[in-house]
Chain A
């Protein structure tokens, strides 16, 4: 608090309220962070979005701040400063009085609370403990993911069809069977969308650096004008895997090309 400020009772308590507010905010933010990271661990196990835990944490913060603020400032100050409980209580109840003794009381209170700041109102040990908990919880999902090959995909809302929100087909199977599906495909081989890359042609340019690859030339195969060399590379591959010197006839190559075209759903 400002040592040089006037000792008017209302101003004194206004300053005190501000200090208490700062303390409360920091405390509740730490609580909300603990809640967020704790929920996030659970959501990570169930492979759900962190936004759910963020929403709960924000709601928690708002509710706690509202409830705490309703609790009178004087009670909060008493809790944090039990040694000045009686003087605070008396001063708070007599802030509208203007007798010499009340002024003296406020003067005393101001001197006593001159060292009170948001920092002094907080228990450093408690804050430090909470920060440690937050840090631990923040890193826990990383550990869980690294040690858990199979992440659980679950719909926490039961029978309600919110599974479509995730847009994954395997979830229906999950509900139909035992309630929990182990998605080996995604866990072991990554996201299924990666498979789509198989339809794309990719020109990889080897640069002089040797270890540098340029993917700038990546272009969708369908967008590029077709060239003979695009099809049938399968025939070429077969030819390459054959014994050295073995050559296919043009008729065989034509047959393979036609087969390849059929496989790709083109005219055959």
Chain B
């Protein structure tokens, strides 16, 4: 009987994710695919890199998502003078009962959902501190190690223009982001809706809180349990290997970490879509955000004006 109840709850999963999107949509207009991809990163217990032009509502979107998911949110605005300790925290002298002692003051990294705004403006040292925390899910200050909150996600943003004075993330570090999500411009109707919503006197509706830390952890476990057929796995490996075997288009291909990431992302997408198995459509859809920051285009491809997404499309067609 309990088993049947669990199965019935599984049936409601699609509605749950639909409700999350609906709540986020109370604040954010459009960007459904971006929200879905952020949810994929969260379900995979991984991090995502959002790239877009300024003013597209990335920060608002992530803040809203944190509210809906009932996660502790913090934002780190990266600047060239940002120090690692500004992220991780530092020891401060605290005086109590006439005695002075060092007390660790937690930095903004101690949150469930961290928005690392304009990560490419921070120095490599600070970037490295953040990326280490992302990877290890812990920070070490002095001789002490502090575990980060669980669940823990970093959603970093970067601006594709205005590259002067920035420190582009090296490939080894971008590889640690499961997804690179491109936030596009809204359509005409969406933009009209945005100006109506935010330039008037009527306050936007407050989104309801759904899920929570425990629920998210449970969903993360379920994501890994989503069964995947062997031929879909083979498709993933073929796709990732083809990024290494296409020298005319790609100079450096994706690593096996990309294969793992693609399978996980496909599983998460299947769960969000309400399926209990991974479809080749999931693989194809997630191939773009998983691979686009893991491949380096060849000179020929760039000369032809191809983007990473164009090349991935070609590779998928060849499968």
Residues of A near any B CB (own CB < 8 A):
86-87, 89-91, 93-94, 97, 99-105, 107-108
Contact = CB atoms under 8 A, between A and B. Distances in A.
The 8 A-B pairs at the shortest CB distance, nearest first, are namely A90-B277, A101-B225, A105-B276, A90-B229, A104-B10, A94-B227, A89-B229, A99-B225
A86 B235 CA distance: 13
Interface string B1-40: 0010011001100000000000000000000000000000
A93 B276 contact: no
B229 A101 contact: no
A86 B222 CA distance: 19
Contacts of B228: 90
Given A86-B232, A89-B229, A103 B7 contact: yes
Given A102-B225, A104-B7, 6 more contacts: A86-B279, A90-B229, A93-B227, A100-B7, A100-B222, A101-B227
A91 B279 CA distance: 12
Nearest to A87: B277
B222 A105 contact: no
A91 B222 contact: no
B230 interface: yes
Nearest to B230: A93
A66 to B, nearest CB: 26
A102 B226 CA distance: 7
6 contacts: A86-B277, A90-B228, A90-B229, A100-B10, A104-B7, A105-B277
B231 interface: yes
Contacts of A93: 227, 229-230
Residues of B in contact with A, size category: 20 to 34
A90 B227 contact: yes
Given A87-B277, A90-B278, A107 B7 contact: yes
B280 interface: yes
A interface secondary structure, majority:
helix
A171 B3 CA distance: 78
Q: Which of A86, A99, A105, A107 has the most CB of B within 10 A?
A: A86
Interface of B: 3, 6-7, 10-11, 222, 225-232, 275-280
B276 A108 contact: yes
Contacts of A108: 276
A105 B10 CA distance: 10
Contacts of B279: 86
A35 B231 CA distance: 37
B231 A89 contact: yes
B10 to A, nearest CB: 4
Contacts of A89: 229, 231
Contact of B277 (A91, A100, A107): A91
Contacts of B227: 90-91, 93-94, 97, 99, 101-102, 105
Contacts of B230: 93
A96 to B, nearest CB: 11
Contacts of B276: 101-102, 104-105, 108
Nearest to A103: B7
Contacts of A94: 227
A108 B271 CA distance: 13
A86 B229 contact: yes
A256 B225 CA distance: 110
A101 B219 CA distance: 11
A94 B226 CA distance: 10
A113 to B, nearest CB: 14
A86 B280 contact: yes
A100 to B, nearest CB: 6
Contacts of A105: 227, 276-277
A97 B226 CA distance: 11
Contacts of B3: 103
Contacts of A97: 227
A107 B227 CA distance: 14
B283 to A, nearest CB: 11
A100 B9 CA distance: 11
Nearest to A94: B227
A87 B222 CA distance: 17
Contact of A100 (B225, B231, B278): B225
Contacts of A91: 227, 277
A100 B225 CA distance: 8
A92 B279 CA distance: 15
A87 B275 CA distance: 9
A6 to B, nearest CB: 11
A99 B225 CA distance: 7
A94 B279 CA distance: 15
Contacts of A102: 225, 227, 276
A100 B226 contact: no
